[in-house]
Amino acid sequence: MILLRRCAVVILLFGGLTPGLFAAKIRQATPVEGVYAGYIVTDAATGAVLLEDNADVTNPPASMTKLMTFAVLYDKLAEGAITLQTPVKIDASDARMGGTQVYLDARETFPVEELIHAMMIQSANDASHALARAAAGSVPAFVELMNAKARALGMTHTTFRTPHGLPPASRREADGDLTTPRDFARLCRYLVLSTDVLKYASIKERMFGTGVRATPMRMDNHNKLLDRIAGVDGLKTGYTQSAGYCLSATAERNGRRVIMVIMGSFGPGRTVDKGRARDFKAIELIEQGFAAQPSAPVVVSTAQPAPAKSSSAAAPTEVPTVKTDRSPAPPEQQSSTPTEPMFKFRVIPPEKKP
């Protein structure tokens, strides 16, 4: 059964290859044994747990933190406190943010929605900081709203300290954002059912700064399962050396939707593998999640609701994985998705016969 599931993962990735090329790809692939801190798969309609392993382990969410930032922004939009067109004047504190960014400049001004795109597609830390500051008056005030939202959603083992997921200056894991796979699955379910998060999280690529910058910047979504695994349309990746590779993903097929959260993933021996083991494990879990759902589908609408009072704007192989206890984080930590490692599926077209 395990072999069949792993074969299914390979077929998902290489379904477009001819038999000869498929076999060649398999021969060239290098076996990988990944590790992870914990995962969970739930039914989006009911919230029922379909699969889990160490789902209550505490782990930094890294850039997945931005999903809670989105949740609070959505509330602000619904309240009418801001609109999607509200101009956000960038200041020096935004421009100083490290890690993945869209390189905001204190001389620039962008509408809220443009910065939301940067946060959700590029995972831009500077955009997240600017949005938090603009929406609540200050970043600390915004973080208070994030924690209040977490409590309201029943995320009892979650604490946020930033709107972006960057590691703390102290480099002590306990001083940064912390959550669990189970808590984050609750957040993802809320977002999918009650907000328009997928409007942004499902976009594979987009230009940033059109109409503002002389040369707009291309943004590529770090979620490499989009448009490659059937039904996947969100949500968010994350990575720091302390957090490991994290992913919150959701997929819908034939009226059924699953939510999958995996945290603390690494390659063999906790090596940095650019998210390869995480993505393969995520694919396997999504497939198992759909297989574990009851035979009669529970139909739930995931149509994208519009916030009230807001304005609208126009070479792989099977990857066996094992759970390991998390070892102490290395002394030097990378910023949240510093240059978010990208997992790429390459499909080589067959040679044309003369």
Read off the pLDDT band of 10 (50, 70, 90): very low
Read off the pLDDT band of 13 (50, 70, 90): very low
Least confident span in 8-12, 113-117, 258-262, 281-285: 8-12
| Tokens at 338, concatenated | 């510093």
pLDDT value for 354: 45
For the chain, the average pLDDT equals 83
pLDDT value for 336: 55
- Per-residue pLDDT reduced to its tens digit, 128-187: 999 999 999 999 999 999 999 999 999 999 999 999 999 999 889 999 999 999 999 999
**Percentage with pLDDT > 90 across the chain:** 71
Residue 202 known to be catalytic: no
Distance, CA of 92 to CA of 105 (rounded, Å): 7
Helix (H, G, I), strand (E, B), or coil: what is residue 297? Answer: coil
Concatenating the DSSP letter of every residue in 58-113 gives -B--GGGGHHHHHHHHHHHHHHTSS-TT-EEE--HHHHT--SS-----TT-EEEHH
> Is a pLDDT exceeding 60 seen at residue 341?
no
Q: Which of 172-181, 267-276, 299-308 has the highest mean pLDDT?
A: 172-181
Asked whether 257 and 191 are in contact (CB, 8 A), the reply is: no
Q: Model pTM?
A: 0.80
pLDDT value for 301: 53
Residue 66 known to be catalytic: yes
Least confident span in 89-93, 192-196, 293-297: 293-297
Read off the pLDDT band of 2 (50, 70, 90): very low
Among the listed residues 25, 76, 123, 310, the single catalytic one is: 123
Given the structure tokens 């009072």, which residue do they identify?
309
The domains located in the chain, with CATH, are 31-204+219-304 (3.40.710.10)
Among the listed residues 25, 66, 76, 281, the single catalytic one is: 66
- Per-residue pLDDT reduced to its tens digit, 171-184: 899 999 999 999 99
